[in-house]
Protein backbone atom coordinates (compact mmCIF):
# COMPACT_ATOMS: atom_id res chain seq x y z
CA UNK A 1 0.00 0.00 0.00
CA UNK A 2 2.70 2.47 1.04
CA UNK A 3 4.92 1.42 -1.81
CA UNK A 4 2.20 1.91 -4.40
CA UNK A 5 1.44 5.34 -2.96
CA UNK A 6 5.08 6.34 -3.41
CA UNK A 7 4.99 5.06 -6.98
CA UNK A 8 1.87 7.10 -7.69
CA UNK A 9 3.41 10.25 -6.24
CA UNK A 10 6.58 9.67 -8.25
CA UNK A 11 4.55 9.22 -11.45
CA UNK A 12 2.70 12.50 -10.86
CA UNK A 13 5.95 14.33 -10.10
CA UNK A 14 7.52 12.96 -13.28
CA UNK A 15 4.50 14.04 -15.33
CA UNK A 16 4.68 17.61 -13.96
CA UNK A 17 8.47 17.63 -14.34
CA UNK A 18 8.40 16.65 -18.01
CA UNK A 19 5.64 19.17 -18.67
CA UNK A 20 7.47 22.03 -16.92
CA UNK A 21 10.77 21.23 -18.66
CA UNK A 22 9.15 20.94 -22.09
CA UNK A 23 7.69 24.44 -21.77
CA UNK A 24 10.92 25.93 -20.36
CA UNK A 25 13.22 24.52 -23.02
CA UNK A 26 10.75 25.51 -25.74
CA UNK A 27 9.68 22.00 -26.74
CA UNK A 28 6.09 23.19 -26.19
CA UNK A 29 5.20 26.74 -27.27
CA UNK A 30 4.76 28.86 -24.13
CA UNK A 31 2.00 30.87 -25.79
CA UNK A 32 -0.22 27.80 -26.12
CA UNK A 33 0.78 25.69 -23.15
CA UNK A 34 1.41 27.18 -19.72
CA UNK A 35 4.04 25.73 -17.43
CA UNK A 36 2.50 24.11 -14.35
CA UNK A 37 4.47 26.53 -12.20
CA UNK A 38 2.33 29.37 -13.59
CA UNK A 39 -0.87 27.92 -12.29
CA UNK A 40 -0.52 28.94 -8.60
CA UNK A 41 -0.09 32.57 -9.62
CA UNK A 42 -3.16 32.31 -11.86
CA UNK A 43 -5.05 30.83 -8.93
CA UNK A 44 -4.08 33.71 -6.63
CA UNK A 45 -5.16 36.33 -9.13
CA UNK A 46 -8.47 34.57 -9.82
CA UNK A 47 -9.01 34.27 -6.09
CA UNK A 48 -8.29 37.95 -5.48
CA UNK A 49 -10.60 39.22 -8.18
CA UNK A 50 -13.32 36.88 -6.91
CA UNK A 51 -13.74 35.00 -10.19
CA UNK A 52 -12.70 31.61 -8.86
CA UNK A 53 -15.09 31.42 -5.87
CA UNK A 54 -17.97 32.80 -7.95
CA UNK A 55 -17.40 30.31 -10.77
CA UNK A 56 -17.00 27.36 -8.41
CA UNK A 57 -20.08 28.30 -6.42
CA UNK A 58 -22.19 28.71 -9.56
CA UNK A 59 -21.01 25.41 -11.05
CA UNK A 60 -21.44 23.52 -7.79
CA UNK A 61 -24.95 24.89 -7.38
CA UNK A 62 -26.34 23.63 -10.67
CA UNK A 63 -24.19 20.52 -10.53
CA UNK A 64 -25.62 19.48 -7.18
CA UNK A 65 -29.17 20.46 -8.11
CA UNK A 66 -29.00 18.64 -11.46
CA UNK A 67 -27.40 15.52 -10.00
CA UNK A 68 -29.86 15.40 -7.10
CA UNK A 69 -32.93 15.84 -9.29
CA UNK A 70 -31.68 13.55 -12.07
CA UNK A 71 -30.71 10.82 -9.60
CA UNK A 72 -33.96 10.99 -7.64
CA UNK A 73 -36.17 10.94 -10.74
CA UNK A 74 -34.03 8.31 -12.46
CA UNK A 75 -34.12 5.99 -9.45
CA UNK A 76 -37.86 6.49 -9.02
CA UNK A 77 -38.53 5.74 -12.70
CA UNK A 78 -36.16 2.76 -12.79
CA UNK A 79 -37.68 1.21 -9.67
CA UNK A 80 -41.21 1.77 -10.97
CA UNK A 81 -40.34 0.17 -14.32
CA UNK A 82 -38.88 -2.88 -12.60
CA UNK A 83 -41.83 -3.30 -10.23
CA UNK A 84 -44.74 -2.52 -12.51
CA UNK A 85 -45.09 -4.35 -15.83
CA UNK A 86 -47.87 -1.92 -16.77
CA UNK A 87 -45.70 1.12 -16.20
CA UNK A 88 -42.77 -0.59 -17.91
CA UNK A 89 -44.84 -1.22 -21.03
CA UNK A 90 -46.40 2.23 -21.07
CA UNK A 91 -43.05 4.00 -21.12
CA UNK A 92 -40.97 1.48 -23.10
CA UNK A 93 -41.17 3.27 -26.46
CA UNK A 94 -40.88 6.72 -24.94
CA UNK A 95 -37.69 5.63 -23.21
CA UNK A 96 -36.36 4.08 -26.41
CA UNK A 97 -37.05 7.34 -28.23
CA UNK A 98 -35.52 9.71 -25.67
CA UNK A 99 -32.65 7.58 -24.38
CA UNK A 100 -30.30 7.93 -27.40
CA UNK A 101 -30.48 11.74 -27.38
CA UNK A 102 -27.26 12.92 -25.75
CA UNK A 103 -27.70 15.41 -22.88
CA UNK A 104 -25.75 18.03 -24.81
CA UNK A 105 -28.32 17.91 -27.60
CA UNK A 106 -30.76 19.37 -25.08
CA UNK A 107 -28.67 22.52 -24.64
CA UNK A 108 -30.54 24.57 -27.30
CA UNK A 109 -33.88 23.68 -25.76
CA UNK A 110 -32.62 24.33 -22.26
CA UNK A 111 -31.50 27.81 -23.32
CA UNK A 112 -34.82 28.50 -25.08
CA UNK A 113 -36.85 27.33 -22.11
CA UNK A 114 -34.83 28.62 -19.20
CA UNK A 115 -32.37 31.15 -20.65
CA UNK A 116 -28.67 31.01 -19.69
CA UNK A 117 -29.57 30.22 -16.08
CA UNK A 118 -28.83 27.80 -13.26
CA UNK A 119 -32.09 26.09 -14.17
CA UNK A 120 -30.92 25.44 -17.74
CA UNK A 121 -27.62 23.99 -16.56
CA UNK A 122 -29.33 21.86 -13.92
CA UNK A 123 -31.71 20.53 -16.57
CA UNK A 124 -28.90 19.51 -18.94
CA UNK A 125 -26.92 17.89 -16.13
CA UNK A 126 -30.02 16.16 -14.82
CA UNK A 127 -30.87 14.51 -18.14
CA UNK A 128 -27.65 12.54 -18.44
CA UNK A 129 -27.74 11.63 -14.76
CA UNK A 130 -31.36 10.56 -15.06
CA UNK A 131 -30.69 7.82 -17.62
CA UNK A 132 -27.70 6.40 -15.78
CA UNK A 133 -29.79 6.08 -12.63
CA UNK A 134 -32.83 4.83 -14.47
CA UNK A 135 -31.01 1.85 -15.97
CA UNK A 136 -28.94 1.11 -12.88
CA UNK A 137 -32.00 1.13 -10.61
CA UNK A 138 -34.09 -0.96 -13.00
CA UNK A 139 -31.41 -3.62 -13.30
CA UNK A 140 -30.78 -3.64 -9.54
CA UNK A 141 -34.46 -4.11 -8.70
CA UNK A 142 -34.95 -6.81 -11.32
CA UNK A 143 -32.06 -8.75 -9.81
CA UNK A 144 -33.72 -9.02 -6.38
CA UNK A 145 -34.32 -12.61 -5.26
CA UNK A 146 -38.12 -13.17 -5.57
CA UNK A 147 -37.89 -15.26 -2.42
CA UNK A 148 -37.47 -12.03 -0.47
CA UNK A 149 -40.88 -10.83 -1.64
CA UNK A 150 -42.36 -14.14 -0.50
CA UNK A 151 -40.63 -13.66 2.84
CA UNK A 152 -42.13 -10.18 3.16
CA UNK A 153 -45.59 -11.51 2.36
CA UNK A 154 -45.20 -14.39 4.83
CA UNK A 155 -44.42 -11.95 7.63
CA UNK A 156 -47.15 -9.43 6.93
CA UNK A 157 -44.90 -6.98 5.10
CA UNK A 158 -46.35 -7.59 1.65
CA UNK A 159 -47.98 -4.17 1.26
CA UNK A 160 -46.58 -1.94 -1.47
CA UNK A 161 -44.96 0.59 0.85
CA UNK A 162 -43.36 -1.94 3.21
CA UNK A 163 -42.18 -4.00 0.28
CA UNK A 164 -40.56 -0.93 -1.24
CA UNK A 165 -38.90 0.37 1.90
CA UNK A 166 -38.09 -2.87 3.72
CA UNK A 167 -37.09 -5.04 0.75
CA UNK A 168 -36.73 -3.34 -2.63
CA UNK A 169 -34.65 -0.29 -1.77
CA UNK A 170 -32.20 -1.97 0.60
CA UNK A 171 -31.83 -5.03 -1.62
CA UNK A 172 -31.19 -2.88 -4.69
CA UNK A 173 -29.05 -0.31 -2.89
CA UNK A 174 -25.65 -1.56 -4.15
CA UNK A 175 -26.76 -1.22 -7.78
CA UNK A 176 -28.62 2.03 -7.17
CA UNK A 177 -25.64 3.63 -5.45
CA UNK A 178 -23.33 2.50 -8.27
CA UNK A 179 -25.66 4.33 -10.66
CA UNK A 180 -25.58 7.48 -8.53
CA UNK A 181 -21.80 7.38 -8.47
CA UNK A 182 -21.60 7.03 -12.26
CA UNK A 183 -23.98 10.00 -12.46
CA UNK A 184 -21.69 12.11 -10.27
CA UNK A 185 -18.95 11.73 -12.89
CA UNK A 186 -21.25 12.19 -15.86
CA UNK A 187 -22.64 15.35 -14.23
CA UNK A 188 -19.31 17.22 -14.36
CA UNK A 189 -19.00 16.62 -18.10
CA UNK A 190 -22.38 18.22 -18.66
CA UNK A 191 -21.54 21.12 -16.32
CA UNK A 192 -18.69 22.42 -18.43
CA UNK A 193 -20.45 21.80 -21.73
CA UNK A 194 -23.53 23.71 -20.58
CA UNK A 195 -21.47 26.60 -19.28
CA UNK A 196 -19.56 26.95 -22.55
CA UNK A 197 -22.89 28.14 -23.93
CA UNK A 198 -22.95 31.14 -21.61
CA UNK A 199 -24.36 29.80 -18.36
CA UNK A 200 -22.30 31.32 -15.51
CA UNK A 201 -19.78 28.96 -13.96
CA UNK A 202 -16.39 27.36 -14.53
CA UNK A 203 -16.99 26.64 -18.21
CA UNK A 204 -17.99 30.23 -18.93
CA UNK A 205 -14.87 31.50 -17.20
CA UNK A 206 -12.79 29.06 -19.28
CA UNK A 207 -14.42 30.38 -22.42
CA UNK A 208 -13.46 33.94 -21.47
CA UNK A 209 -9.90 32.86 -20.67
CA UNK A 210 -9.63 31.03 -23.99
CA UNK A 211 -10.57 34.22 -25.82
CA UNK A 212 -7.65 35.97 -24.14
CA UNK A 213 -5.27 33.00 -24.67
CA UNK A 214 -4.92 32.97 -20.86
CA UNK A 215 -3.88 29.33 -20.89
CA UNK A 216 -2.73 29.37 -17.27
CA UNK A 217 -6.29 30.23 -16.23
CA UNK A 218 -7.63 27.47 -18.48
CA UNK A 219 -5.40 24.93 -16.78
CA UNK A 220 -6.36 26.31 -13.38
CA UNK A 221 -10.05 25.62 -14.06
CA UNK A 222 -9.34 22.23 -15.58
CA UNK A 223 -7.58 21.29 -12.38
CA UNK A 224 -10.43 22.82 -10.40
CA UNK A 225 -12.90 20.49 -12.13
CA UNK A 226 -10.66 17.52 -11.45
CA UNK A 227 -10.45 18.53 -7.80
CA UNK A 228 -14.20 19.07 -7.41
CA UNK A 229 -14.92 15.74 -9.06
CA UNK A 230 -12.37 14.08 -6.81
CA UNK A 231 -13.95 15.58 -3.71
CA UNK A 232 -17.54 14.67 -4.63
CA UNK A 233 -16.56 11.16 -5.66
CA UNK A 234 -14.52 10.62 -2.52
CA UNK A 235 -17.28 11.94 -0.27
CA UNK A 236 -19.89 9.81 -1.99
CA UNK A 237 -17.71 6.74 -1.83
CA UNK A 238 -17.33 7.28 1.91
CA UNK A 239 -21.07 7.56 2.40
CA UNK A 240 -21.89 4.52 0.27
CA UNK A 241 -19.24 2.41 1.99
CA UNK A 242 -21.01 3.15 5.20
CA UNK A 243 -24.43 2.33 3.76
CA UNK A 244 -23.20 -0.88 2.18
CA UNK A 245 -21.19 -2.16 5.11
CA UNK A 246 -23.19 -5.42 4.90
CA UNK A 247 -21.86 -6.24 1.42
CA UNK A 248 -18.38 -6.62 2.88
CA UNK A 249 -19.49 -8.58 5.95
Return d(Cα 193, Cα 121) in angstroms, integer: 9
The DSSP element (H or E) to which 27 belongs, if any, is none
Return d(Cα 241, Cα 235) in angstroms, integer: 10
Q: Which of 86, 147, 211, 242 binds another protein (CB under 8 A)?
A: 147
Q: Which stretch binds another protein (CB under 8 A): 76-84, 150-158, 203-211, 212-220?
A: 150-158
Write the DSSP string, 61-122: HHHHHHHHHHHHHHHHHHHHHHH-HHHHHHHHHHHHHHTTS-GGGGHHHHHHHH-SSHHHHH
Rounded alpha-carbon distances, angstroms, from residue 110 to 22, 58, 117, 132, 202: 42, 17, 9, 20, 18
Residue 170 in the binding site for another protein (CB under 8 A): yes
Residue placing its CB nearer to another protein in the complex, 104 or 151: 151
> Least CB distance from residue 84 to another protein, whole Å?
19
Q: Which stretch binds another protein (CB under 8 A): 19-27, 61-69, 160-168, 184-192?
A: 160-168
> Least CB distance from residue 74 to another protein, whole Å?
22
Residue placing its CB nearer to another protein in the complex, 65 or 152: 152
**Count of residues that interact with another protein, criterion CB under 8 A:** 18
Residue placing its CB nearer to another protein in the complex, 2 or 248: 248
Residue 144 in the binding site for another protein (CB under 8 A): no
Q: Which of 6, 93, 161, 246 binds another protein (CB under 8 A)?
A: 246
The number of C-alpha atoms within 13 Å of 4 and in the hemisphere containing its C-beta is 1
Which candidate, 100, 242, 92, places its Cα nearest to that of 173? 242
Which residues make up the interface to another protein (CB under 8 A)? 147-148, 150-151, 153-157, 162, 166-167, 170-171, 173, 246-247, 249
Amino acid sequence: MKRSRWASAAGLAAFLGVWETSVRVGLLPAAFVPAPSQVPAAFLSELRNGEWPAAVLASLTHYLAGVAAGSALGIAAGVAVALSPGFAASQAWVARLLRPIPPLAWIPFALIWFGPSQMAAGFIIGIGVFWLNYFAAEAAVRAIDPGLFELAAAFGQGGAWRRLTAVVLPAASPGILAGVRAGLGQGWMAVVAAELFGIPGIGQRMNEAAGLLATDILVLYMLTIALLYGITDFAFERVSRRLLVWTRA
